[in-house]
Amino acid sequence: MIYFDVTQTGAAAARSGLTRVNRRLLAEFGPAAVPAVWRDGTLRRADNAAPVVPGAADWFLTAELFSEAERPGFAAFLAARRLRCAALFHDAIPLKHPHITWPKSVARHPAYLKQLAAFDRIFAVSAASRDELLGYWRWLGLATVPPVAAVALGADAAGTPRITVPVTPPAPPQLLCLGIVEPRKNQALLLAACAALWREGRAFELHVVGRMNPHFGRPIVAALEKLRAEVGPRLVWHAAADDAAVAARLAAARATVFPTLAEGCGLPLLESLWHGVPCVCSDLPVLRENADAGGCLAVPVGDVAAWTAALRRILADDTLHRDLAAAAVARPLPTWADTAAQIRSALR
């Protein structure tokens, strides 16, 4: 049996990447997994709050972030556990970019990364994340660490059927940016590039979908609202959108745009390809793990001129767009069923 951690994400309202990962994995595990929560210093079943009484062959699996301060007694649970423990590791972004990361995450992450070394197995969401974790453990000088395997996350965000035939998007062309509004996602660069194209007379719409990071997002929202006052309905911010609304936006998009500065995996890129929509993305190694197989146009990170040129191309060059869309629908993509199967196979 797999006791699947839903302590934070079970009742979460936000459409965050971590929440989507948890819910899609749990759905694909089906009856093989029992939702569990850490409460009152004990691992409990989520359905009836009864303490978990595991067998030696059982597993505890968490894809959440945690600390001893948030889960008192968790270190003792790991030290004296009566079941095996595995975790899905996302990234070390709070350590690499602390100035633009939630303060709570920055405070939590060093202890969290060290505590992961007490698990029996770790699954990293990309090869880049795996290497970051192993590098951090080497820096700590840990003599014994668990095996870390990279797993491919699913592209089928909401379990929707894959688009397998290129679709001609409506006019005027629409660009779609998915992700929380914050400096790491780099919407400020995107606004600057689009503003330059609108000044050239390019006819297109930009749709930004994502809630605002309350710590760091206000300057970006202010810039968005200022530009929207200039260009009108060509710029739309969807601060709240459910899976159906996101799918509708993807169906209308000529391309998604992903100018992010750092990622653990980059789910918006995969989800864009699942819908047959080309993705213009940052030229990050972690994104290249999925982008290089086709359907994507990689652009140097943080280079406004290069991004302006790339967006001009995707908007104006129908041959380029057609080739990228054809690659997007033809290439292999992982599903959440594949992800769950890979993890379940390793937890036997």
Q: Looking at the structure, tell me whether residues 17 and 146 fall in a common domain.
A: yes
Structure tokens at 95: 């350590």
Is residue 163 assigned to a domain?
no
- pLDDT at 184 (0 to 100): 97
Structure tokens at 180: 């929380």
d(CA 160, CA 35): 24
- pLDDT at 19 (0 to 100): 84
Q: Looking at the structure, tell me whether residues 102 and 242 fall in a common domain.
A: no
- pLDDT at 186 (0 to 100): 98
Is residue 96 assigned to a domain?
yes
Q: Which segments of 200-332 does DSSP mark as H helices, in order? A: 218-231, 243-252, 267-274, 285-291, 304-316, 318-330
| Structural domains counted in the chain | 2
- pLDDT at 251 (0 to 100): 95
Give the type of residue at 153: L
The enclosing H or E element of 258 equals strand 255-258
Is residue 143 assigned to a domain?
yes
- pLDDT at 270 (0 to 100): 97
Q: Looking at the structure, tell me whether residues 14 and 123 fall in a common domain.
A: yes
73: left (phi over 0), alpha (psi -120 to 50) or beta: left
The residue segments making up the domain with residue 298 are: 174-330
Cα 229–Cα 280–Cα 15 angle in degrees, nearest 5: 70
CATH of the domain at 266: 3.40.50.2000
Whether 3 and 42 have beta carbons less than 8 Å apart is answered as no
- pLDDT at 15 (0 to 100): 64
Q: Looking at the structure, tell me whether residues 116 and 232 fall in a common domain.
A: no
Q: Looking at the structure, tell me whether residues 315 and 340 fall in a common domain.
A: no
- What stretches in the chain show pLDDT beneath 50? none
Q: Looking at the structure, tell me whether residues 103 and 197 fall in a common domain.
A: no
- pLDDT at 8 (0 to 100): 85
Its sign, for the CA torsion 161, 167, 171, 177, is positive
Q: Looking at the structure, tell me whether residues 109 and 211 fall in a common domain.
A: no
pLDDT in tens, 119-129: 999 999 999 99
**C-alpha 61 chain-centroid distance:** 19
Q: Looking at the structure, tell me whether residues 138 and 226 fall in a common domain.
A: no
Q: Looking at the structure, tell me whether residues 21 and 128 fall in a common domain.
A: yes
- pLDDT at 237 (0 to 100): 97
Q: Looking at the structure, tell me whether residues 195 and 300 fall in a common domain.
A: yes
Place of tokens 């994400």: 9
Q: Looking at the structure, tell me whether residues 341 and 316 fall in a common domain.
A: no
Buried b (16+ CB within 10 A) or exposed e, 289-318: bbbeebbbbbbebebeeebbebbbebbeee
Q: Looking at the structure, tell me whether residues 126 and 272 fall in a common domain.
A: no
Is residue 28 assigned to a domain?
yes
- pLDDT at 39 (0 to 100): 93
d(CA 225, CA 323): 34
- pLDDT at 9 (0 to 100): 80
